[in-house]
Amino acid sequence: MKVGIVGANGYSGIELIRFLLNHRFVTIEVIIANSNSGKNIANLFPHLTNILEEELEQLTIDTVVKRVDLLFFATPSGVSKDWIPQFINRGIKCIDLSGDFRLKEADAYKEWYQFEHSSPSFLQEATYGLVDIFKEKIKNAVLIANPGCYATAILLGLIPCVENNLIDPNTIVIDGKSGVSGAGRKASLATQFSEVNENVKAYKVGKHQHIPEVEQVLSEISGNPINICFTTHLIPMTRGIMCTIYVNRKNRITTKQLLDVYEEYYEASSSIRIRPEGNFPTTKEVYGSNYCDIGLYVDERTNRLTIVSVIDNVVKGAAGQAIQNMNLLNNWDMDEGIRNIPIYP
Amino acid sequence: MKVGIVGANGYSGIELIRFLLNHRFVTIEVIIANSNSGKNIANLFPHLTNILEEELEQLTIDTVVKRVDLLFFATPSGVSKDWIPQFINRGIKCIDLSGDFRLKEADAYKEWYQFEHSSPSFLQEATYGLVDIFKEKIKNAVLIANPGCYATAILLGLIPCVENNLIDPNTIVIDGKSGVSGAGRKASLATQFSEVNENVKAYKVGKHQHIPEVEQVLSEISGNPINICFTTHLIPMTRGIMCTIYVNRKNRITTKQLLDVYEEYYEASSSIRIRPEGNFPTTKEVYGSNYCDIGLYVDERTNRLTIVSVIDNVVKGAAGQAIQNMNLLNNWDMDEGIRNIPIYP
Amino acid sequence: MKVGIVGANGYSGIELIRFLLNHRFVTIEVIIANSNSGKNIANLFPHLTNILEEELEQLTIDTVVKRVDLLFFATPSGVSKDWIPQFINRGIKCIDLSGDFRLKEADAYKEWYQFEHSSPSFLQEATYGLVDIFKEKIKNAVLIANPGCYATAILLGLIPCVENNLIDPNTIVIDGKSGVSGAGRKASLATQFSEVNENVKAYKVGKHQHIPEVEQVLSEISGNPINICFTTHLIPMTRGIMCTIYVNRKNRITTKQLLDVYEEYYEASSSIRIRPEGNFPTTKEVYGSNYCDIGLYVDERTNRLTIVSVIDNVVKGAAGQAIQNMNLLNNWDMDEGIRNIPIYP
Amino acid sequence: MKVGIVGANGYSGIELIRFLLNHRFVTIEVIIANSNSGKNIANLFPHLTNILEEELEQLTIDTVVKRVDLLFFATPSGVSKDWIPQFINRGIKCIDLSGDFRLKEADAYKEWYQFEHSSPSFLQEATYGLVDIFKEKIKNAVLIANPGCYATAILLGLIPCVENNLIDPNTIVIDGKSGVSGAGRKASLATQFSEVNENVKAYKVGKHQHIPEVEQVLSEISGNPINICFTTHLIPMTRGIMCTIYVNRKNRITTKQLLDVYEEYYEASSSIRIRPEGNFPTTKEVYGSNYCDIGLYVDERTNRLTIVSVIDNVVKGAAGQAIQNMNLLNNWDMDEGIRNIPIYP
C-alpha cells in the first residue's frame, strides 16, 4: 500500500517514517512539509542519512490523490481540518494525528482549541482511533482521529474501572507529566534547553485541550457525564508521558482484584502490559516502543485507587497508534511494523 | 556562636556549610562524618577548595560538647535518635534535619520508618520546626525537628486553606515530584544517572514517610483527623520539589479570593511568595534559594483547587529552614544568612 | 543457531537481547548472570515484560556447552579471561565484549587493566573484531575480542588517514566524550545522577585502557609504532560517544579530497556514514543504532584535520558490533538483526 | 555608585542583577531591554518576584546619561559597537560583555563576526578585561571589553605556560565544551531541549569567534604570532565551560613542576584555584561561582601537557568577571560582591 505523510518534518512525522520503513506492507510514497518543501529530509534530519534521502513536497490535492491510498496528517493543531475533508471526498483515507477531528461538538473547538472548526459535519464521520478499545469501529472508518498522547495514557488507565463501574466518577484527579517532545519541533523560548533543564513546570492548569477528549470518551462509556480534574507538567526529558490517576473506589475492591480486572480487560491487547502488585512502570521502560504499561494500587487508608499509566508520547501517543489504526483499516495484524522493544537504558 | 554539623559529607550537610559560611553570627567549629573522618572535606568536595579546608571528625559526646553551642544533624534516618538525647542532656541545642523526632507517636516509626524508636520520651519534647507557621514555639525550643522536604512544600501549600476551613479535608490528593538529591549522597543502583535520566518513576506509592508527618500537623491545625493521599515521583533533575495539590473547595471561593487569603496569611514570611493569578511557580525559580513559591487555581468545572507549591529540597526543604530555625532560637532575623537569590537559568 | 549471553544483566547484555530477539537466524538459549541467577530477567528489567520472561542462570561449563553454539561475554573487565579458554577448548566460539583478549601483550594488562592475565597464550589466538576493517580475518575466528567503545570510534575515524599515509602520526590528539552507560550498570557514587547531571568531568586523563588497544591497531596498520594522546570526558547523557580527533596533515589535502578518501574507503560498510562537507554528526543522530557517523574538516590556518566520529556506545561500541561479528562468523549478511533506524529525537 | 544594565533580559544581564543586588557599593539604577521595555522584569523572570520588581526601559542616550556612572552592555553581538562610543563620549564608563570591542583589528570583525565595525577607532581605546592578567591596565580604563567565556577559560589555562615559555606554541589544540546558556536566551530550534538533550554536538568547527581573541592575547604575551586549533561542543547542560587543552612541552617539565608554576603565577588571584596532582576540576565544582579551576597533567608517553580549565560561563565567563572589572575601575576589592560559594550538587 502506498501512503503519504503530511507534516513529515515534525517529531511525529519523523517517527512515522521510522516505523513505516520497517512495515512489510507499506511504501512511503510522498513526504510533505510546506515550510521545507524542496529539501532532502536527510539534510534536515541527518539521522536519516542513507536511509531516506527523499525530497519534501508541497501539499496539493491533485498530485497527492493519484499517488497514495492513505494519508497521515502529523500537522499542528488547526491545519488538517481544512484539508482532510477534501481528501476524504476524493476517496483517500486519512489518519489525523492532530486534534482537529477528535471532538464531536464543533463549539468545543472554540473553547479548547481557540479556533472555529471549518468542517463540523466531518466531526461526526470521524472515528476515534483508540485502538485497544474501539477496534471494531475503526476497521470500517475512513477518517480516523488518532487520540492525543495524554488522552491515550489516561483512557487506557481509566476505562476498565469506568466500564466495570468500580469507581466514583466524580472524584477523578489526573496528574500528567510529559517530556518536551510533546510540544513539537519548533523554536520556542519556553522549551529551550536552559529553560526546561533542572526544572518542573505546571502548564495549562485546568485548561489542557485533552480534557474534553477524555471526558467525551469516558462519558460515552459510562453512559453519564464525567468531568475530570487534570493538570499537566513539563518534565526535563525528551520522550515519555506518565499519568498518575487518583480516584475513589466504589466498593472495597483490593489491588489484587483490580489487577485481575485489568489483566482480563486487556487480554487481547498485546501493547498493554499490566504490572504485578507493588510494581509501577516508569516512562523509560516503554521508551521508543508502542507499549502502554499500567501499575495499580489501592490505598486502604484513603479508599482511593492510584493508577500509573505510561507511554512513549511519540509512539503509542502518536505515530505508533496511528500505524495500529492503519493496520486495523487494512485487516493486518494490529502490531505489524511496531513491535520494537523498548530501548534501555 | 559556634556550631557543629553531624553528617557534613551529605548533600544537606554541604548545603549547611554553604550558608553558614556566610552567616554573620556563626562559626562552624566542627564538621563530623564518621565514614570519612580524618579526611579534608575539600578533598571529598573540591568545590570547597580554598573555602573550607577542614578535617572531618568522628562523632563523640565529650569532645563536641565543649566546642559548640548548637549541633545540626544532617544524618540519614535512624541515626540522630540515638545521639540527640545525649547532647540535649548536656545542654547542647540540636536541630535535626532527619525525620527521627518529627512524629509524636513512637509506634508510627515502626510503620513508616521501619525502626523502633530508642528515645520515645524525647518525641514530645521536640518542636516541629516549620518556621513560617510555628515561629513562636520554636523560639523556646531545645530540640527542633526540621520538617521533611515534601512535608514543607505540602504544609505551606495547604495550611492557609485548612486553618481557614476553605476545603473538604477528606479530598486531599497530593502529587509530589522531586529531584534526585532528595535521595541523599550514596551509591545506589536506582539513582544512577543511566537509570534516572529520560525517566519518570513513581516511588513509595502510598507509603512515603512524610505522610504521617503531614497528617499530624494538618490534624492538629484543623482539630480533626485528616488523611492525605500522596504519591511521590522521581524526576530527572538534581534539585527541586513540586507538590501539586488537588482538593475540593467547601464554598464557592474564587481564585482571586484564595490568593488574597494566602497573601495575607504569609504576609510576615519573606521566604514565601504567592504568585499572581494565572501564574504557577517552577522549581528552577527557587533554585539554590530558601523560597517557597505557591500558585493557586480554582477549577470552576470540578469545584477543585489546584495548589502548586515549589521549594529547593536542599534549601527550604532542609538546610535553609534549619538555619531559619537556628535564627529563631537566637532571636536573630529569621532570614539571616539565607537571603540568596535563586540562580537562573 | 543457539547462543548464550554471559553478563545478561548489564547494559551491553540487555542490548544484545534487544537485537538478538529480532535476529532471524538466532535463538537466545541461555542468559547468565551469577549475581542474579534464579531471577526472571523481566523482574530486573521491566521493559522486557511479556517479551523475555526467562530465568537468569549460573555460569558453569558443562551445562552451557551442550546448549549453545556461541557465547557472548558481556562481563566486567577481568572475568572472561578465566572462562573463555575453557569454552574455546570445548569447541564453543566466543565473542568477548570486555577488554580481556584485545591486547596482544600480556604485560600490557598489568599496566592498563591492573590484572595479571591468566591465559596469555589465548591473546595471540584472539581476533580483533573491528568488523569494518578486519572482515576477512574475523570470518575464520574462534575467539573474537570485540573492540572497545572509544577504540571503535577512534579507529574508524583514523584508519583511512593512517592507511593512506595522509597524516603525521606523532601528532594525534583525541578528545573523547562519553555518556554514562559506558560505566556499566552498578551502584557507584561517581555515576549518581546528582553527581553527573549539569557536569562535565575529565577522567582517566592519559590512562584510559583503550589507549594501548588503539595504538596496537594503528601501529599494525601503519607499520610503525604510533602513540596517541587521549583524554576522556563524562557527559551528562546516557548513551553516545563522540571522539574529536586532531592531527596534522602531511600534504596539503583539502576537506573535499579527504571526504572522497573516506567515502571510498568505507564504500562496503553500510554502517559507516561519511557526512558531507560542513556537516558534523551528533551522538543523537546514531542513538539506538549501529551507525558510526564521521565528519571531517581541514583547518587551513593550522594545517590540522579535525575528525568527528560518533557511535552509540552500547550498540556499535558493544552489542551491535558483537552481532556483526557473529554474522561474519556465520557468513550471514553483516547487518542482519541490527538495521535499526536511529531514534530521533 | 549607580549603574545600568543594557540587555537586562538576557542570561548575562540576569546574572549581573543577581550579583549587583548583593554588592555593597552599587545600586542598579536602570535596567534596559528594548524588546521588553515597559514590562516588570519579575513578570519575565518570576525568580525575581519580591526581589527586583522594576520596569525594563528603552535605551536612549540622554535619559541614561544623567542617571548612571557606569553601564554594563550584556547585548548580543553587533549591538554595543553602535552605542558605547556615544556613552564614552558623554563620560560614562562602559563594560561590554559582548565581543564588539575585544579585537584590535576592525577587519577581523568581518571575518569572524560577519559585520562591519562602525567604530574602529574605539577598538584601540578598549581595554581587554581579563582581570587576573591585566589588572593594572584595567584600573585606568574607560571602555572595557569583557573577555569571551571560552577565551577566559583558555587564556587562564594557557598564559602561565606561554609567559614562561614552557610549551611549543605551534602545537596548541583546544577542545571546548559548553552548556547551552552560552547560546543566550532566545527561541532557536538548535537549542530546543529535545534537540540538545542526550546529545553532543560539535559546532563552528575551526570558525569560533573566540579564536582571534585568544590568538591576539597569546601572541601579545608571547611576542610572536600564535595560532590555535579550537573546536567547540554543545553539551546537554545549562551552565559551565570546560576547555581541555593539549600542547607539546618544550623541556622535560613534570606535572609537579608545572603545578608550582601555576600556583605561583596565580598567587594573587583568589578566584583561580589550581588543583593538586591527579585531580581535575569538573564544571559543577564552580557552578554559580566566579572561580576558574585548573588541573594539569604531563603525559610522559607523548610529551604533551593536558590542561583542564573550567568556569561557569555566565559568571567568570560573563557577569562575574564584568563585576570584577567594575571593582578594579573603582579600586574596590576585586572580589567584592562575587564571593559566592559554588552550589553543589
Does the pLDDT value for residue A330 go beyond 90? yes
Angle at C132 between CA C127 and CA C134, to 5 degrees: 30
Is the CB of residue D268 less than 8 Å away from at least one CB of chain B?
Answer: no
**CB-based contact A197 D11, cutoff 8 Å:** no
The DSSP secondary-structure symbol of B69 reads S
Measured distance between the N- and C-terminal CA atoms of chain D, rounded to whole angstroms: 35
Start-end of H helices in chain B: 11-20, 41-44, 61-65, 84-89, 106-113, 120-125, 135-139, 149-163, 193-196, 210-222, 255-265, 320-329
For the record, the C-alpha cell of D120 comes out as 574602529
Backbone φ and ψ for A64, nearest 5 degrees, come out as -70, -40
Residues 6+ positions from B48 with CB-CB distance below 8 Å? B17, B41, B42, D341
| Closest residue in chain C to residue B238, using alpha carbons only | C194
Query: Cα(C150)–Cα(A302) distance, rounded to whole angstroms?
Result: 53
What ipTM, to 2 d.p.? 0.97
Q: What string of H, E and C letters represents the secondary structure of chain C?
A: CEEEEECCCCHHHHHHHHHHCCCCCCEEEEEECHHHCCCEHHHHCHHHCCCCCCECECCCHHHHHHHCCEEEECCCCCCHHHCHHHHHHCCCEEEECCCCCCCCCHHHHHHHHCCCCCCHHHHHHCEECCCCCCHHHHHCCCEEECCCHHHHHHHHHHHHHHHCCCECHHHCEEEEEECHHHHCCCCCCCCEHHHHCCCCEEECCCCCCHHHHHHHHHHHHHCCCCCCEEEEEECCCCCCEEEEEEEEECCCCCHHHHHHHHHHHCCCCCCEEECCCCCCCCHHHHCCCCCEEEEEEEECCCCEEEEEEEECCCHHHHHHHHHHHHHHHCCCCCCCCCCCCCCCC
**CB-based contact C198 D308, cutoff 8 Å:** no
Query: Cα(A240)–Cα(A179) distance, rounded to whole angstroms?
Result: 5
Angle at C129 between CA C218 and CA C71, to 5 degrees: 155
**CB-based contact D281 B46, cutoff 8 Å:** yes
**CB-based contact D199 C238, cutoff 8 Å:** no
Query: Cα(D311)–Cα(D130) distance, rounded to whole angstroms?
Result: 14
pLDDT tens per residue across span A171-196 = 999 999 999 999 999 999 999 999 99
**CB-based contact B288 D293, cutoff 8 Å:** no
pLDDT tens per residue across span C115-142 = 999 999 999 999 999 999 999 999 999 9
Query: What is the structure's pLDDT at B63?
Result: 86
User: Position D174: which residue type?
Assistant: I
Is the CB of residue B275 less than 8 Å away from at least one CB of chain D?
Answer: yes
User: Position C341: which residue type?
Assistant: I
Q: What residues in B contact C187, CB-CB < 8 Å?
A: 187-189, 192
Grouping H, G, I as helix, E, B as strand and the rest as coil, residue A239 is coil
Is the CB of residue C18 less than 8 Å away from at least one CB of chain A?
Answer: yes
In a mutational test of the D interface, the residue from A14, A189, A193, A196 whose CB has the highest number of chain D CBs within 10 Å is A193
Chain C nearest C-alpha distance from A212 (Å): 29
Is the CB of residue B198 less than 8 Å away from at least one CB of chain A?
Answer: yes
Is the CB of residue C196 less than 8 Å away from at least one CB of chain B?
Answer: yes
Query: What is the structure's pLDDT at D283?
Result: 98
Q: What residues in C contact B185, CB-CB < 8 Å?
A: 189, 192, 194
Per residue of chain B (345 residues), give pLDDT as tens: 999 999 999 999 999 999 999 999 999 999 999 999 999 999 999 999 999 999 999 999 998 999 999 999 999 999 999 999 999 999 999 999 999 999 999 999 999 999 999 999 999 999 999 999 999 999 999 999 999 999 999 999 999 999 999 999 999 999 999 999 999 999 999 999 999 999 999 999 999 999 999 999 999 999 999 999 999 999 999 999 999 999 999 999 999 999 999 999 999 999 999 999 999 999 999 999 999 999 999 999 999 999 999 999 999 999 999 999 999 999 999 999 999 999 999
For the record, the C-alpha cell of D315 comes out as 559568571
Angle at C262 between CA C258 and CA C265, to 5 degrees: 135
| Closest residue in chain C to residue B197, using alpha carbons only | C238
Report DSSP letters for B10-41, one per residue.
Answer: SHHHHHHHHHHTT-TT-EEEEEE-GGGTTSBH
Strands ordered across the beta sheet of B292-299: B201-203, B229-234, B173-178, B241-248, B304-311, B292-299, B272-274
Residues 6+ positions from B135 with CB-CB distance below 8 Å? B328, B334
**CB-based contact C189 B193, cutoff 8 Å:** no
Q: What residues in A contact B259, CB-CB < 8 Å?
A: none
Helices C149-163, C210-222: inter-axial angle, 10-degree rounding: 20
CB pairs under 8 A between B and D: 78
**CB-based contact D50 B238, cutoff 8 Å:** no
Count CB atoms within 10 A of the CB of residue C253. Answer: 17
Is the CB of residue A343 less than 8 Å away from at least one CB of chain B?
Answer: no
Query: Cα(D42)–Cα(C238) distance, rounded to whole angstroms?
Result: 36
Query: Cα(D80)–Cα(D72) distance, rounded to whole angstroms?
Result: 10
| Closest residue in chain A to residue D235, using alpha carbons only | A193
Going by pLDDT thresholds of 50, 70 and 90, the confidence category of residue C95 is very high
| Closest residue in chain D to residue C286, using alpha carbons only | D199
User: Which residues between 103 and 122 in chain B have a beta carbon less than 8 angstroms from any beta carbon of chain D?
Assistant: none
Query: Cα(D286)–Cα(D147) distance, rounded to whole angstroms?
Result: 18
Going by pLDDT thresholds of 50, 70 and 90, the confidence category of residue C63 is confident
**CB-based contact A187 D185, cutoff 8 Å:** no
Sequence length of chain C is: 345
Query: Cα(A172)–Cα(D120) distance, rounded to whole angstroms?
Result: 67
> Are the CB atoms for A182 and A313 separated by under 8 Å?
yes
Is the CB of residue B53 less than 8 Å away from at least one CB of chain D?
Answer: no
> Are the CB atoms for A273 and A190 separated by under 8 Å?
no
For the record, the C-alpha cell of C28 comes out as 537466545
How many Å separate Cα C178 from the centre of its chain?
13
In a mutational test of the C interface, the residue from B15, B193, B196, B199 whose CB has the highest number of chain C CBs within 10 Å is B193
Which residues partner with C142 through β-bridges?
none
Query: Cα(D169)–Cα(A50) distance, rounded to whole angstroms?
Result: 41
**CB-based contact D345 B185, cutoff 8 Å:** yes
Q: What residues in D contact B338, CB-CB < 8 Å?
A: none
How large is the average pLDDT for residues D156-179?
98
Q: What residues in C contact B14, CB-CB < 8 Å?
A: none
For the record, the C-alpha cell of A2 comes out as 502506498
Report DSSP letters for B196-236, one per residue.
Answer: HTT--EEESTTT-THHHHHHHHHHHHHSS----EEEEEE-S
> Are the CB atoms for A108 and A127 separated by under 8 Å?
no
Query: What is the structure's pLDDT at A12?
Result: 98
For the record, the C-alpha cell of B132 comes out as 513560617
Query: Cα(A265)–Cα(D178) distance, rounded to whole angstroms?
Result: 50
Q: What residues in D contact A192, CB-CB < 8 Å?
A: 180, 185-188, 191-193
Chain A nearest C-alpha distance from C285 (Å): 4
| Closest residue in chain A to residue B286, using alpha carbons only | A199
Chain D nearest C-alpha distance from A302 (Å): 36
CB pairs under 8 A between C and D: 141
The DSSP secondary-structure symbol of D56 reads -
Of B181, B188, B194, the CB nearest to C238: B194
> Are the CB atoms for D93 and D57 separated by under 8 Å?
no
Grouping H, G, I as helix, E, B as strand and the rest as coil, residue D213 is helix
Of C185, C189, C193, the CB nearest to B238: C193
pLDDT tens per residue across span B105-148 = 999 999 999 999 999 999 999 999 999 999 999 999 999 999 99
Of A46, A185, A282, the CB nearest to C285: A46
Please say whether the dihedral angle defined by the alpha carbons of residues B291, B292, B298 and B302, taken in this order, is positive or negative: positive
Of A179, A193, A236, the CB nearest to D191: A193
Query: What is the structure's pLDDT at D63?
Result: 85
pLDDT tens per residue across span A50-107 = 999 999 999 999 989 999 999 999 999 999 999 999 999 999 999 999 999 999 999 9
Count CB atoms within 10 A of the CB of residue B73. Answer: 27
CA neighbor of C291 nearest in space, from C279, C283, C302, C299: C283
User: Which residues between 131 and 150 in chain D have a beta carbon less than 8 angstroms from any beta carbon of chain C?
Assistant: none
Chain D nearest C-alpha distance from A73 (Å): 21
Is the CB of residue C187 less than 8 Å away from at least one CB of chain B?
Answer: yes
Query: Cα(A284)–Cα(A219) distance, rounded to whole angstroms?
Result: 31
Q: Residue D246, class by beta-carbon neighbours within 10 Å (0-12 exposed, 13-18 middle, 19+ buried)? A: buried
The DSSP secondary-structure symbol of B80 reads G
**CB-based contact B193 C193, cutoff 8 Å:** yes
Of A171, A200, A280, the CB nearest to B202: A280
Q: What residues in B contact A175, CB-CB < 8 Å?
A: 175, 244, 246
**CB-based contact D240 C306, cutoff 8 Å:** no
Share of chain B above pLDDT 70, in %: 100
Of A187, A194, A238, the CB nearest to D189: A187
| Closest residue in chain B to residue D341, using alpha carbons only | B18
Query: What is the structure's pLDDT at A344?
Result: 97
Query: What is the structure's pLDDT at C70?
Result: 98
| Closest residue in chain C to residue A45, using alpha carbons only | C285
Measured between alpha carbons, how far is residue D306 from residues A166, C229, D228 in Å? 66, 9, 15
> Which residue matches cell numbers 588503539?
C214
**CB-based contact D50 B341, cutoff 8 Å:** no
Of C199, C235, C301, the CB nearest to D227: C301
**CB-based contact C197 B191, cutoff 8 Å:** no
How large is the average pLDDT for residues D176-181?
98
Rg (CA), chain A: 20
Of C48, C197, C288, the CB nearest to A288: C288
Query: What is the structure's pLDDT at C298?
Result: 98
Q: Which chains touch B (3 or more CB pairs under 8 A)?
A: A, C, D
